[in-house]
Amino acid sequence: MSENSKNSEEKKSNIEEIIIPSEKAMMQLGGKIAKQFPKGGIVLLKGDLGAGKTTLVRGLLRSLGFEGTVKSPTYTLVEPYQVNDRRIYHFDLYRLGDPEELEYMGGRDYWDSDALCLIEWPEKALAYLPEADLQLTILYKGEQRRVLIKS
Ligand SMILES: Nc1ncnc2c1ncn2[C@@H]1O[C@H](COP(=O)(O)OP(=O)(O)OP(=O)(O)O)[C@@H](O)[C@H]1O
Ligand SMILES: [Mg+2]
């Protein structure tokens, strides 16, 4: 196998698994993701209710210097943040009725920009979402969390 095709194979299915022992560690993981995507990107956050998706987004925003409140935009579906020169959109699609609603919301305008889009509950509208740059699946492991990171 050539070096090139080997690399693209790796890109397709690179899954890393890490243990996140605390809320603080989940916030730190958010900080790492902020560093990984200085020019924006699409990050899908999967995991049951209370798994830690919003906690990760909070950590990401804190790492960039945002000091305000960060809570899941459950009813508004999306919350925009401007932190210094960075645009961040935090989606929570849990209450999305019909996936087509995303089109009416102008979803495309969000991901066609240079923003970093963090999307909780992407399962609610997978067909309407762009290809992810990173997908995290957060699983309960007692008091801890197991995080599968697919890039
Ligand atoms: N290891 C851990 N990582 C992340 N959160 C943890 C951890 N241990 C305990 N917690 C707690 O779990 C909760 C996670 O809540 P959070 O709102 O981030 O979940 P969520 O995945 O966004 O849920 P929802 O789907 O309802 O939006 C917080 O109360 C947090 O303190
Ligand atoms: Mg949440």
Single-letter residue type at 120: E
User: What is the pLDDT, as a whole number, of residue 116?
Assistant: 97
- Asked whether residue 5 carries a pLDDT value surpassing 60, the answer given is no
Nearest protein CA to atom 30 of ligand 1, as residue = 23
Assign 3-class secondary structure to 49-76.
CCCCHHHHHHHHHHHCCCCCCCCCCCCC
| All structural domains of the chain | 37-142 (3.40.50.300)
pLDDT digits (tens, 9 = 90+) for 87-141: 999 999 999 989 998 888 887 888 878 899 999 999 999 989 999 999 999 999 9
User: And the tokens for 114?
Assistant: 């240079």
- The pLDDT score that the predictor gives to residue 11 is 54
Is it the case that residue 7 has pLDDT exceeding 70?
no
The protein residue whose alpha carbon is closest to atom 29 in ligand 1 is 50
The closest residue, in CA terms, to atom 9 on ligand 1 is 23
pLDDT at 2 over 50: no
pLDDT digits (tens, 9 = 90+) for 14-49: 999 999 999 999 999 999 999 999 999 999 999 999
Between CA 111 and CA 118 the distance in angstroms is 10
Full-prediction pTM beyond 0.85?
Answer: yes
Residue among 18, 23, 137 to mutate when testing ligand 1 (max atoms within 8 A of CB)? 23
- C-alpha 21 to ligand 2 mean position (Å): 18
Render pLDDT for 51-77 as a digit per residue (tens, 0 to 9).
Answer: 999 999 999 999 999 999 999 998 889
Ligand 1: which residues within 6 Å by Cβ? 20-23, 26, 47, 49-55, 72, 92, 120, 143-145
Name the helix (H) or strand (E) containing 43.
strand 41-47
Looking at ligand 1, which atom is closest to the CA of residue 48?
A: 25
Q: Which residues contact 118 (CB under 8 A, 6 or more apart)?
A: 43, 45, 56, 57, 60, 88, 89, 90, 91
